[in-house]
Amino acid sequence: MLFFDSVGPNPKVVRVFMAERGITGIPVETVDIRGGDNRKEPFLSKNPAGQCPALALDNGTVIAEITAICEYLDEVGPASGPSLIGKTPEERAETRMWARRIDLNILEPMANGFRYGEGLKMFQNRVHCIPQASDDLKAAAQEKLTWLDGLIAGRQFICGDRLTMADVLLFVFLDFFAGIKQPLNENNKNILAWYGRMKARPSAAA
Ligand SMILES: N[C@@H](CCC(=O)N[C@@H](CS)C(=O)NCC(=O)O)C(=O)O
Q: pLDDT 10s per residue in the chain (206 long)?
A: 999 999 999 999 999 999 999 999 999 999 999 999 999 999 999 999 999 999 999 999 999 999 999 999 999 988 889 999 999 999 999 999 999 999 999 999 999 999 999 999 999 999 999 999 999 999 999 999 999 999 999 999 999 999 999 999 999 999 999 999 999 999 999 999 999 999 999 999 99
| Phi, psi (deg, nearest 5) at residue 159 | -100, 40
Please give the distance, rounded to the nearest whole angstrom, from the Cα atom of residue 153 to the centre of ligand 1.
31
**Residue 38 in contact with ligand 1 by CB distance below 6 A:** yes
User: How does DSSP classify residue 103?
Assistant: I
Residue whose CA is at the smallest distance from ligand 1 atom 1: 65
Strand positions, DSSP E, 1-94: 2-5, 28-30, 54-56, 62-64
Q: pTM higher than 0.95 for the full model?
A: yes
Please give the distance, rounded to the nearest whole angstrom, from the Cα atom of residue 11 to the centre of ligand 1.
8
- Which helix (H) or strand (E) segment holds residue 102: the answer is helix 89-102
**Residue 8 in contact with ligand 1 by CB distance below 6 A:** yes
Please classify residue 20 by burial: count the beta carbons closer than 10 Å to its beta carbon, then call 0-12 exposed, 13-18 middle and 19+ buried: buried
- Please tell me whether residue 50 adopts helix, strand or coil conformation: coil
Atom of ligand 1 nearest to the CA of 33: 14
Atom of ligand 1 nearest to the CA of 103: 19
